[in-house]
């Protein structure tokens, strides 16, 4: 069975390593092992931005070792590492929002409230899954934040998102 996972902002929060010492590689290796124990090679990963930071070469090396078919919705910090770098470690890269299963809008920033309401009222989407923590949200029932800073560095399974929006 192929699973779908979502994550965002792994670059800013030192997702793969927390220390700044010589042991970064060892800590990263343990986190890679943890990721690969959860994510199978054929699973799908949607990364909703901010995967690269000032340690982009280190992150790029780690990303190559992670299981899963990796899809990136570019975030604001990824733009300086745009496409060439991203294409080396992601299977697909998008600068625009992604419509998943014809129900969920996957974006880096949350949709503005007026746009979100129009899309929901017209039956185009059920909700907006976004990756950028700290954005102002008026109606949490229409939004789901998957930032690593929001989720305690956890990968979010698509079924958890579906439950949030009552589509499972």
Domain that holds residue 112: 4-164
Query: With bands split at pLDDT 50, 70 and 90, how would you rate the model's confidence at 153?
Result: confident
Query: E strand or H helix at 93, and its extent?
Result: strand 92-94
Mean pLDDT throughout 137-151? 85
Which of 15-19, 25-29, 54-58, 94-98 reaches the highest mean pLDDT? Answer: 94-98
Pick the more confident residue, 156 or 60: 156
pLDDT of residue 43: 98
CATH code assigned at 45: 3.60.21.10
What is the DSSP code (8-state) at residue 78?
Answer: G
Count the domains in the chain.
Answer: 1
Judged by phi (left if over 0) then psi (alpha if -120 to 50, else beta), residue 153 lies in left
26-62 residue pLDDT tens: 767 788 898 999 999 999 999 998 887 655 566 677 8
- d(CA 12, CA 2) in angstroms, rounded, equals 28
CB atoms within 10 A of CB 13: 17
């Amino acid at each position: 069975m192929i699973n779908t996972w979502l994550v965002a902002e792994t670059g800013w929060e030192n997702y793969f390593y927390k220390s700044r010492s010589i042991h970064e590689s060892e800590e990263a290796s343990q986190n890679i092992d943890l990721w690969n124990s959860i994510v199978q090679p054929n699973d799908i990963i949607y990364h909703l931005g901010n995967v690269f930071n000032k340690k982009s070469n280190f992150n790029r090396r780690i990303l190559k070792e992670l299981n899963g078919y990796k899809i990136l919705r570019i975030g604001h910090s990824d733009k300086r590492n745009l496409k060439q770098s991203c294409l080396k470690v992601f299977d697909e890269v998008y600068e625009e929002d992604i419509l998943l299963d014809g129900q969920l809008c996957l974006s880096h920033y949350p949709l503005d409230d007026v746009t979100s309401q129009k899309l929901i009222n017209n039956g185009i989407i059920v909700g907006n899954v976004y990756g950028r923590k700290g954005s102002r949200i008026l109606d949490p029932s229409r939004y789901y934040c998957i930032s690593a800073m929001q989720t305690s560095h956890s990968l979010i399974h698509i079924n958890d998102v579906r439950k949030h929006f009552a589509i499972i």
